[in-house]
Amino acid sequence: MRIKLSGVWTIISLTVIGFLLESAASDSAISGFALWPFQAGFMPWQLVTFSFLHANFIHLAFNLYGLWMFGGELEKLLGKSAFFNLYFASVLSAGVLQLLVTSLTGSLYPTVGASGGVFGLLLAYGKCFPNRIIMLLIPPVPLPAWLFVMLYAVIELMLGVTGTQSGVAHFAHLGGMIGGYIVIRRWRRRSRWI
């Protein structure tokens, strides 16, 4: 009997496997899969592999929750193949923007995490389901998806520009949103169904 995983559960499974391998391997064995700045050991495959690594369990859990929360409904709307395209285009654009920012700032630290892909899904969710209500946890305020996405993007931009929350790749998050926007906009030009 063959088990068919949805796109969301495929990415979740691969990301959990990546985290378990990362946890079991030495830093030197796994470091080549993180996204390193151009001046500190960048390799092309890192534009995808960094999304399967995470700093800790909390980082992993938040990203997988976001992937599950926004990805399921998007995959139902778009189909598995288009969902993969959306997610990985967001991961790639997150990586590219992060590389540009680290080049400008001279940062020598690697980036890990699926956040760029998740932020691309979040943007796509806001575009495809603008009036769906998203309940914030803190404070518990209901917001339409489009407003939630806009506020989150503004907060990420402010945190990135001010350098608040060091160790968080705010520009990678914004890069993921840019990738999600480009993909959804392209699909809307070609089709009336989104």
CA distance linking residue 55 with residue 113, whole number of Å: 7
The answer, yes or no, to whether residue 157 has pLDDT greater than 60, is: yes
Which residues are CB-neighbours of 100 under 8 A, at least 6 positions away?
171
Domain count, the chain: 1
The answer, yes or no, to whether residue 77 has pLDDT greater than 90, is: yes
Interval 154-163 mean pLDDT: 88
Instruction: Please give the mean pLDDT across all residues of the chain.
Output: 91
In sequence order, which ranges of 106-144 are alpha helices (DSSP H)? Answer: 115-128
- Let me know if residue 53 belongs to a domain: yes
The answer, yes or no, to whether residue 178 has pLDDT greater than 90, is: yes
pLDDT of residue 1: 56
Q: Where do we find the tokens 């914004």?
A: 174
Interval 161-171 mean pLDDT: 83
The answer, yes or no, to whether residue 59 has pLDDT greater than 90, is: yes
- Let me know if residue 2 belongs to a domain: no
Residue of 29 and 112 predicted with greater confidence:
112
- Let me know if residue 130 belongs to a domain: yes
CA distance linking residue 102 with residue 87, whole number of Å: 22
Q: pLDDT tens digit string along 122-141?
A: 999 999 999 999 987 778 88
Tokens representing 107 are: 């940062």
Which CATH number characterizes residue 113's domain? 1.20.1540.10
Asked if 130 contacts 146 with a C-beta cutoff of 8 angstroms, the reply is: yes
Which residues are CB-neighbours of 12 under 8 A, at least 6 positions away?
64, 67, 68
Which residues are CB-neighbours of 23 under 8 A, at least 6 positions away?
none
Kindly give the interhelix angle for 80-105 and 115-128, rounded to the nearest 10 degrees: 120
pLDDT band at 166 (very low <50, low <70, confident <90, very high): confident
Identity of residue 53: L
- Let me know if residue 100 belongs to a domain: yes
Q: What is the domain extent for residue 176?
A: 7-190
- Let me know if residue 119 belongs to a domain: yes
The answer, yes or no, to whether residue 2 has pLDDT greater than 70, is: no
Assessment of whether the complete model's pTM goes beyond 0.85 = yes
CB atoms within 10 A of CB 9: 16
pLDDT above 90 coverage of the chain, percent: 71
pLDDT of residue 79: 93
Tokens representing 63 are: 């990203």
CA distance linking residue 183 with residue 87, whole number of Å: 10
- Let me know if residue 1 belongs to a domain: no
Which residues are CB-neighbours of 21 under 8 A, at least 6 positions away?
30
